[in-house]
Amino acid sequence: MCGIFGYVGRCEDAPQRILEGLKKLEYRGYDSWGIAVRLNGNAAIERHVGKIGLASTMLPASEIGLGHTRWATHGAVTEENAHPHLDCSGRLAVIHNGIVENHQALRRELLARGHLFHSQTDTEVIAHLLEDELRAAAGEADHLAQALICAFRKLDGLNALAVLDIASHRLAAAKTGSPLVLGWASEASYLASDPSALLEHTRRLTFLEDNQVAVLSEGGVQVFDATLGERLDPRIWDITWQPELADLAGYEHFMAKEIHEQPRVIHQIAAGWGAHAEQLAELMREARGTYMVGCGTAAHAALAAQYAFSRIAARHVNFANGSEFAYLEHFLNEHSLVIALSQSGETIDVLDSIRAAKKRGVTVGALVNVEGSSLYRLADYPVLLGAGPERCVLATKSFTAKLAILLLTAYAFDHRLEEGREVVQRAADEIQHFLSDGRAELMRQIAEQLYQREHLYIIGRGPSYPLALEAALKIKEVSYIHAEGFAGGELKHGVIALIEPGTPCLVIAPKDETYTAILSGAMEVKARGGFIIGLSPEPDEVFDIHVPLADVGEGAMLVNALPPQILAYHLALLRGCDPDKPRNLAKSVTVK
- List residues binding ligand G6P (CB under 6 A): 295-298, 342-344, 347, 350, 393-395, 585, 587-589
Closest to 369 measured CA to CA, from 258, 283, 471, 247: 258
Q: What gap in Å lies between CA 183 and CA 191, rounded to an integer?
A: 6
| The three-state (H, E, C) secondary structure of 346-371, written as one string | CCHHHHHHHHHHHHCCCEEEEEECCC
The distance of closest approach from Cβ of residue 350 to ligand G6P in the complex, given in angstroms and rounded to an integer, is 5
CA–CA distance from 339 to each of 201, 290, 355, 356, 414 (Å)?
Answer: 33, 7, 12, 13, 18
Give the dihedral of Cα atoms 351, 352, 353, 356; nearest 10 deg.
Answer: 120
Q: How far is the CB of 515 from ligand G6P (least distance, A)?
A: 29
CA-CA distances (angstroms) from residue 555 to 386, 403, 458, 465, 507?
19, 9, 20, 15, 17
Least Cβ distance, residue 544 to ligand G6P (angstroms)? 30
Closest distance of CB 354 from ligand G6P, Å: 11
Q: Which of 2, 295, 392, 505 is catalytic?
A: 2
Q: Which is nearer to ligand G6P, 349 or 554 (CB)?
A: 349
Residue with smaller CB distance to ligand G6P, 222 or 297: 297
Instruction: Report the C-alpha gap between 423 and 555 in whole angstroms.
Output: 6
Least Cα distance to 367 among 355, 375, 356 occurs for 375
* 23 belongs to the catalytic site: no
205: three-class secondary structure by DSSP = strand
DSSP 529: T
Least distance (Å) between residue 233 CB and ligand G6P: 30
Q: What is the DSSP string of 247-278?
A: S-TT-SSHHHHHHHTHHHHHHHHHHH-HHHHH
Q: Are strands 531-536 and 545-548 parallel, antiparallel or unpaired?
A: parallel
Helix (H) or strand (E) holding 433: helix 417-436
Question: Are the CB atoms for 129 and 154 separated by under 8 Å?
Answer: yes
- Is residue 592 within 8 A of residue 177, CB to CB? The reply is no
Cβ atoms of 97 and 161 closer than 8 Å: yes
CA–CA separation, 557 and 345 (whole Å): 23
E strand residue ranges, 477-557: 482-487, 504-508, 531-536, 545-548
Cα within 13 Å of Cα(72), Cβ side: 17
- The enclosing H or E element of 518 equals helix 515-527
| Residue of closest CB approach to ligand G6P | 296
| Separation of alpha carbons 319 and 306, rounded Å | 7
SS3 429: helix
Nearer to ligand G6P, 312 or 473 (CB): 473
Which one of 492, 581, 587, 592 is the catalytic residue? 587
Q: How far is the CB of 581 from ligand G6P (least distance, A)?
A: 11
Q: Please list, in sequence order, all residues whose beta carbon lies within 8 angstroms of the beta carbon of residue 142, skipping any fewer than 6 positions away.
A: 215, 222, 224, 231
For ligand G6P, the closer of residues 83 and 587 by Cβ is 587
Tell me the C-alpha distance between 439 and 566, whole Å: 10
User: Helix 417-436 vs helix 274-286: angle between axes, to the nearest 10 degrees?
Assistant: 130
Q: What are φ and ψ of residue 459, in 5° steps?
A: -125, 150
- Contacts (Cβ under 8 Å, ≥6 apart) of 260: 251, 435
Strands 237-238 and 204-207: antiparallel
Q: Is 2 among the residues known to form the active site?
A: yes
Instruction: Give the Cβ contact number of residue 135 at 10 Å.
Output: 10
**Catalytic residue ranges:** 2, 587
